[in-house]
């Protein structure tokens, strides 16, 4: 007897995903990401999310100067069927006009989470670690804390720390660049 299976979803490649945008199936109002071939809707964002992403964007840009680029909610290509749009990414400086940011351009990736906390800690974490993203922060908007993940491996990140209250965070790629949780959660 045949093994009973639930029919599977058709997964889409990045090319097919771009083509959907080209032909108007996906439009400007679609806040979506491509995650392992599935087109996933990004959760609506609240005021805390907006504020904390703005703070981080501003602080990182000012403190990094010309040493790195700060990208906000722009796509990062991870694999043939995965292209998330993280809230923030600190990128190696290069020309991005012809080629979108790839995993190896990313020095730090940040997701701000309100409704998506569990997803950012499981699915997203696994994808980012597998892609070798060297440092990943999850900003818990409700708790006003930052989880810092370093040392990616195939199973996840080996080192995790959590910053809350009055703490100072530095970037693995730029240890002289510091941000305080007070500043982030202003």
71 or 116, CB closer to other proteins?
A: 116
39 or 77, CB closer to other proteins?
A: 39
71 or 82, CB closer to other proteins?
A: 82
Give the shortest CB-7-to-other proteins separation in angstroms.
5
Q: Pick from 29, 40, 34, 28: which is nearest to 16 by CA? A: 34
Contacting residues toward other proteins, per CB under 8 A: 1-10, 12, 16, 19-20, 22-26, 30, 32, 35-41, 43, 116, 118-119, 122-123, 126
As a whole number of angstroms, the distance between CA 124 and CA 137 comes to 11
Give the shortest CB-3-to-other proteins separation in angstroms.
6
As a whole number of angstroms, the distance between CA 127 and CA 149 comes to 13
Residues 6+ apart with CB under 8 A from 141: 46, 48, 49, 52, 112, 113, 114
As a whole number of angstroms, the distance between CA 17 and CA 6 comes to 24
Give the shortest CB-73-to-other proteins separation in angstroms.
17
19 or 162, CB closer to other proteins?
A: 19
């Amino acid at each position: 007897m045949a093994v009973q299976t639930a029919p599977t979803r058709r997964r889409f490649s990045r090319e097919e995903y771009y083509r959907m945008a080209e032909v108007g199936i996906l439009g400007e109002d679609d806040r979506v990401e491509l995650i392992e071939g599935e087109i996933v809707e990004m959760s609506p964002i609240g005021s805390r999310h907006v504020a904390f992403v703005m703070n981080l964007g501003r602080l990182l840009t000012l403190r990094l100067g010309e040493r790195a680029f700060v990208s906000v909610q722009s796509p990062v290509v991870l694999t043939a069927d995965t292209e998330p749009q993280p809230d923030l990414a600190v990128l190696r400086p290069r020309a991005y006009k012809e080629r979108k940011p790839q995993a190896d351009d990313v020095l730090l990736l940040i997701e701000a989470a309100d409704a998506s906390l569990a997803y950012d800690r499981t699915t997203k974490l696994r994808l980012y670690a597998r892609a070798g993203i060297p440092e990943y922060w999850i900003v818990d908007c409700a708790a006003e804390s930052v989880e810092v993940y370093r040392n990616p491996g195939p199973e996840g990140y080996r080192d995790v720390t959590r910053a809350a209250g009055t703490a100072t965070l530095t970037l693995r790629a730029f240890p002289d660049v510091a941000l305080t949780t007070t500043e982030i959660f202003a």
